[in-house]
Structure 1
Amino acid sequence: MEAKELLSKTAVVVLNYNGAKLLRQFLPTLISCSDSARIYVIDNASTDDSVSLLETEFPAVVCIKNAQNLGFAGGYNEGLRSIDASLLVLINSDVEVTPNWLQPLVRAFAEEEKLAIAQPKIRDFKNKAAFEYAGAAGGFIDKYGFPYCRGRLFETVEIDENQYSDETPIFWATGACFAIRKKVFDELGGFDADFFAHQEEIDLCWRAFNRGFEARYLPDSVVFHVGGATLASGSARKVFLNFRNSLVMLLKNVPQGMLFEVLFLRLVLDGIAAIRFLTSGEFSKFRAVIAAHFAFYANCNQTFKKRAKHLRSDYFSKKSIVYAYFVQGKRRYSDVS
């Protein structure tokens, strides 16, 4: 399929929940820079004036109204059912796109049939010289399920000095701006709605990896992400979701022969993290880790049933990013790659 034809079959989709301010700020640029792609907003039962704003100020945008707030995962799953497109570009409401941001994504999918998932270069809206935490220049994962990026290890984010300006395969693409073939999304069954929010895109990419699909970082496309606009960075709720969902993701995707070792060591590392929260006086985060573990244990049987028959053991290139970062003091992706 030619790029021009695929562009006309591309849906750029924003998920919104009480984000009228962000829609007013970022939709105009998204509309003006997205050529002939169709723009959609899936509204997750907002209680602010998001829907009326879309109807009055952005009539060209198609608004899909979910009946309730289903979170990131369920909200997209529900809304995307009614969208007829060949290529989906899912983008957060707090992302500022740049001129010609969409063309490199569409061109790559048009030229390479094996490409299933891709992400652009993600830089920080508040510090535009730096990469942004959620995705940076493409994501990877270590043996124990800790995600990291080219340009970001844990809380250390690099300045973009064109060190990651090469197009390259990645393990996961960020949900902040995430392109996927619609047929692949449907084949995978969409996001796992039980995640609600956080790490559902890593789980989706992991399931795609297990089926042999390819994900890639495309640096010629550049966007700027505010980050933390929906759920505050470091909040207890976010800690709960990240710890719970990471364990769920491991149980779903790690091969049988590795599962006990990986889960056991991950539980130990989570315990160390909980103790650090406790000793530093961050009691709400300590409680969030404990709650995340109990939630994981309560649903283990249900999660185990989601395991696919064929799970790949080559999902990681680094055994422990935790050891590299906290013990060896490595702070850049180039130090651990």
Structure 2
Amino acid sequence: MSTGATRPTVGAVVLTMNDRPEEFPRAMASLLAQEGIDLDVVVVGNGCTPDQVPPGVRTVTLAENAGIPEGRNIGAANVTGDCLFFFDNDAILPTADALARLAAELRDDPTLAYAQPRIADPDTGVTLRRWVPRLRASDPERPGTVTVMAEGVVMIRRSAFDTAGGWPGHFFLFHEGIDLAWRLWNHGGTGRYLPGIVVHHPATNPARHAAFYRLSARNRVWLARRNLPAVLVPLNLAAWVLLTLWRIRDRAALKVSLAGFREGLHGGHGPRAPMSWRTVARLTRAGRPPVF
């Protein structure tokens, strides 16, 4: 990254399906209002031609919905910057220095691969457990090293992102942040959760997506089979099955989840690149052994 008095350079990627006519303009206004950085922004239309795009912002139109991780990969290939910022189109940056502060963390710590702000609902101020990138999520205001990420609002060092190979595009939706975080760690990087930097995002339920249970289960299998040493794969998947049986009480949802699990076992995860045992040890010391 650039050092000294040079302003941080940030490439921001925003996806749209033209289905948030009120939220999207507010998200873009807050992004373009950021100060203290050189900002390059691209809006990727996932299966559409982007509407309501502010003047001067470039767009990429995808004829079909490529999914969130692949859409972000395409966006990343169309922006410049030492840092990449991935930004949900219904989020808001409530202060004009949020990106500069995230970029400063990456500038000041060469081992840091990604920086995660605290996500909070704009109306209630509540930070959902799934937005806190660690197992012990009861205190969302506790900073520290983290081994996963809330991928909808995160800044990643560009060189680390490229070395890790970007998002797993074929996941389409769900758990792509764990996959990328594990690979960033496997290349020697770390992640940091910075609750003092707040981003607003409505507290929506991921189960609103019709394919939530199937894709979530399938991708958990793919995640393990792609990234873990062979001996840890059955341990990780057994832990997931037990947690799923305990958490999901709706029979129909459980049936779909188990079908997605079987789909993942049948293949499609792509080439295996198991993390080293050194990475397993680093993740464990950081508070999240990769069997969970």
Q: Please indicate the TM-score interval, normalised by the length of the shorter structure.
A: 0.7 to 0.9
Cα distance in 2 for partners of 1:211, 1:20 equals 37
Q: Map 1:1-337; keep pairs closer than 5 Å.
A: 1-2=2-3, 5-7=6-8, 9-21=9-21, 22-35=23-36, 36-46=38-48, 51-54=50-53, 58-99=54-95, 100-128=97-125, 130-136=126-132, 139-140=133-134, 148=135, 150-151=137-138, 163-164=141-142, 166=143, 168-228=144-204, 232-273=206-247, 276-278=249-251, 283=252, 285-299=253-267, 302-303=268-269, 305-308=271-274, 310-311=276-277, 312-314=279-281, 315-316=283-284, 317=287
**1:206, 1:320 → 2: CA distance?**
9
Change (3 A) 1:73 1:319: closer
**Matched residue SS, 1:41:** strand
In the TM superposition, residue 268 of structure 1 has moved relative to its aligned partner by 4.3
Deviations 1:137-192 (Å, cap 9, x if unpaired)?
Answer: xx13xxxxxxx4634xxxxxx6x6xx42x4x2111121121111111111111111
Compute the TM-score of the two structures, normalised by the length of structure 1. Answer: 0.75
User: What's the secondary structure of 1:118's corresponding residue?
Assistant: strand
Sequence identity (%): 21
In structure 2, what is the Cα distance between the partners aligned to 1:267 and 1:304? 22
Report the TM-score when normalising by structure 2: 0.86
Partner Cα separation in structure 2 for residue 3 and residue 67 of structure 1: 42
d(CA) in 1 for partners of 2:203, 2:71: 19
Match of 1:51, SS state, is coil
Q: Evaluate the alpha carbon distance shift between residue 65 and residue 34 of structure 1 in structure 2; reply closer, same or farther with a 3 A threshold.
A: farther
Residues 298, 238 of structure 1: alpha-carbon distance in 2 compared, 3 angstrom cutoff: same
Q: Secondary structure at the match of 2:216?
A: helix
Maintained 8 Å contact 1:2/1:110: yes
Q: Give the superposition deviation at 1:126.
A: 3.2
CA displacement at 1:3 relative to structure 2? 6.6
Whether the 8 Å contact between 2:217 and 2:258 is mirrored in structure 1 is: no
Structure 1 121/268 Cα, relative in aligned 2: closer, same or farther at 3 Å?
closer
> Which stretches in structure 1 are left out of the alignment for 5+ residues?
141-147, 152-157, 323-337
Paired with 1:296 and 1:177, the residues of 2 have a C-alpha distance of 27
User: Which has the higher mean CA deviation after the structures are superposed, 17-26 or 263-272?
Assistant: 263-272
C-alpha deviation, 1:17, in angstroms: 1.8
Distance, in Å, in 2 between the alignment partners of 1:27 and 1:288 is 36
Q: Any conservation in 1 of the 2:147–2:191 contact (CA below 8 Å)?
A: yes
Q: Deviations over 1:253-297 (max 9, x none)?
A: 2223333333334334434556x321xxxx2x1332132022112
Q: Name the CA distance, whole Å, in 2 between partners of 1:81 and 1:320.
A: 30
**SS of equivalent to 1:126:** coil
**Number of residue pairs the alignment of both structures matches:** 284
**CA distance in 1 between partners of 2:98 and 2:173 (Å):** 26
TM-superposed deviation, 1:97: 0.6
Higher Rg of the two aligned structures = 1
Question: Could you say what the CA RMSD is over the residues aligned between the two structures, in angstroms?
Answer: 2.7
**Structure 2 runs not aligned, ≥5 long:** none
